[in-house]
Chains A and B, each alone.
Chain A
């Protein structure tokens, strides 16, 4: 057993003298512990971009960059919710049609002269509240009664698909004229606003890191890996300004892209910096241990299913806005599988407890980039599906191998 040798090793002082752990060793430790992190998908994404850039002329352009962002936004929103559900080790199959419900509700409520028209942003607010309630109901079946989430949300898939078809089947598509809704997929910020946002993000990020350092200093805890901290403080602002620079070559920063960043930051914060997020990881890792530690497992599960439905609703609004309408086939096609694939390809484990919010963005970017690039190559949808399927299989295999490795390293 590997364990005995670990004990016989000379006892290293436990952060008594600031033993600085390098970035490299930590990544290696994580891989050994079955946690591959985001590395495979980042490397893969870079590879995909390089291949398409070299093989077609129209791929590596500012216009196409903005296209990919707006194409991936809907899926990304759904995938944010999927990450939380997967972290619990559960599944939510209803999200695609829940997103359609949000689209239909918002579209109905913005219809002029319908007798139930709501002004401004209210159709969106009501639609999101409605789908949050859907999450509450579905989550309660899972958490309180113990019905497997697969079945509850499969039923949800049918029910909400039925609802959308019943609403739109006879009347046909609803055209959306509300700017509040349509702008989520169609608005582009001015160049100045773009630079301002990049500056704001950089300032907040660097400020946050400095705040963390001050905290650690106050508690006399050694800083881990100063090199990585510097890299982050330079890298994230550089990335922010770089993205804005590319977007500004075209129409400017799309509101859809800003939505991705806002929700990425928000959900990462919730997952990593709050007690709720910690408890989600705990329940996904070992529900019994979490229960014994006094965590209300049912409460966590219900809230996570509400997050899943809520983010599906946000995605539904964006998807409706892209076409300025909702149709009876809203929420159909590959939306569900794309959203789940995005989270998994991004590195979130299907087995619960391991994953990051950012995997939603990374995975959705991979899927959107492949679809976009193959489309430019004039491949058919069939080829796109086959390619995405192969990547999904690869990602899950990687996850499974990592997990087996973890089982071997552990104890």
Chain B
């Protein structure tokens, strides 16, 4: 296992007009770990993720992937590196079945653009089985008939099917009941076991303490702490979220000249 992070962000700064959304934020995720990203509303979680996903570019800062500096200027660039984002709204087509959604936009086809259903069906069922997503009765049933947890599972499975190395999950349990949350958290752990770097964005500290290995706290667009789950507790993290002072990961020190707090 390489100890250097798979994905590393350094000094990411981003402002929208006069609003400073991110100032000198550092973030990293290693392969095989679940890195939680927490913070109050407006702390900059989404902005940070969109930078990685190629939705918008940072004004300043560096992105390293497997130790190499990279430029991510579109979602396609992110996908090419192996970074997949599962957004809160899942982006599934309700009218299509599980297989069709898994391959949405990347359908297996031959030279004549003919769909290769058998190939897609086989790979889909393999992927779901490897993630032990077993509650879906038929992969040919439309996504509209699935429960919230099953839909989340399909969206996650779709993200990891493409040899991805980093998967970012945006509030995957926000809309789910207890049993379904459990189902999704198990899935999250399994992704890390399979060697992926998992970024978990969540408001729910209970969920985070159940699955995360490390926790990055953002507050007002700045780093407010990086914790290892086993050496911290919920109170400490809550304190960082609500009242944490800006911190910087050791090693990199930049002159913090009068940025508004």
**Cβ–Cβ contact A3 & B149, under 8 A:** yes
Bound-state Cα–Cα, A295 to B113, Å: 14
Q: What residue in chain B is nearest A29 (Cβ atoms)? A: B141
Q: What residue in chain B is nearest A282 (Cβ atoms)? A: B93
**Cβ–Cβ contact B147 & A286, under 8 A:** no
- What bracket does the count of chain A residues touching chain B fall in? 35 or more
Q: A4-B177, A406-B144 are in contact. Are A286 and B94 (CB under 8 A)?
A: yes
Q: What residue in chain A is nearest B138 (Cβ atoms)? A: A21
Residues from chain A with Cβ under 8 Å of B142 in the complex: 30, 33, 35
Residues from chain A with Cβ under 8 Å of B106 in the complex: 293-294
**Cβ–Cβ contact B177 & A3, under 8 A:** yes
**Cβ–Cβ contact B115 & A273, under 8 A:** yes
Q: A274-B114, A409-B144, A411-B151 are in contact. Are A7 and B96 (CB under 8 A)?
A: no
Please tell me if A116 contacts chain B, counting CB pairs below 8 Å: no
Q: A7-B147, A14-B136 are in contact. Are A295 and B128 (CB under 8 A)?
A: no
Residues from chain A with Cβ under 8 Å of B100 in the complex: 278, 281-282
Please tell me if B104 contacts chain A, counting CB pairs below 8 Å: yes
**Cβ–Cβ contact B113 & A14, under 8 A:** no
8 A Cβ contacts from A355-375 to B? none
Q: What residue in chain B is nearest A16 (Cβ atoms)? A: B129
Residues from chain B with Cβ under 8 Å of A354 in the complex: 95
**Cβ–Cβ contact A33 & B145, under 8 A:** yes
Please tell me if B118 contacts chain A, counting CB pairs below 8 Å: yes
Bound-state Cα–Cα, A3 to B106, Å: 29
**Cβ–Cβ contact B147 & A219, under 8 A:** no
Bound-state Cα–Cα, A64 to B129, Å: 56
Q: A274-B114, A294-B105 are in contact. Are A289 and B138 (CB under 8 A)?
A: no
Which listed residue (B95, B150, B183) contacts A281, Cβ 8 A? B95
Residues from chain B with Cβ under 8 Å of A273 in the complex: 114-115
Please tell me if A8 contacts chain B, counting CB pairs below 8 Å: yes
Instruction: Tell me how many residues of B have a C-beta within 8 Å of chain A.
Output: 54
Please tell me if A334 contacts chain B, counting CB pairs below 8 Å: no
**Among B119-127, B211-219, B232-240, which stretch is in contact with chain A?**
B119-127
Q: What residue in chain A is nearest B125 (Cβ atoms)? A: A15
Bound-state Cα–Cα, A355 to B245, Å: 57
- Interface 0/1 of A385-411, CB less than 8 Å to B: 000000000000000000000100111
Please tell me if B204 contacts chain A, counting CB pairs below 8 Å: no
Bound-state Cα–Cα, A340 to B28, Å: 55
A132 to chain B, nearest CB (A): 19
A281 to chain B, nearest CB (A): 6
**Cβ–Cβ contact A2 & B147, under 8 A:** yes
Residues from chain B with Cβ under 8 Å of A221 in the complex: 118, 121-122, 125
Q: What residue in chain A is nearest B151 (Cβ atoms)? A: A411
Residues from chain B with Cβ under 8 Å of A406 in the complex: 94, 144
Q: What residue in chain B is nearest A407 (Cβ atoms)? A: B144
Q: A14-B133, A221-B122 are in contact. Are A4 and B179 (CB under 8 A)?
A: yes
Residues from chain B with Cβ under 8 Å of A33 in the complex: 141-142, 144-145
**Cβ–Cβ contact A281 & B96, under 8 A:** yes
Q: Can you list 9 A-B contacts (CB < 8 A)?
A: A4-B180, A7-B149, A7-B180, A13-B134, A14-B125, A15-B125, A276-B113, A282-B104, A406-B94
Q: A6-B147, A35-B142 are in contact. List 12 more A-B contacts (CB 8 A).
A: A4-B147, A7-B183, A29-B145, A221-B125, A274-B114, A282-B104, A285-B93, A288-B91, A289-B93, A292-B75, A293-B104, A353-B93
Q: What are the 9 A-B residue pairs with the smallest beta carbon separation, nearest first?
A: A293-B105, A3-B147, A285-B93, A353-B95, A285-B95, A11-B134, A289-B91, A219-B118, A293-B104
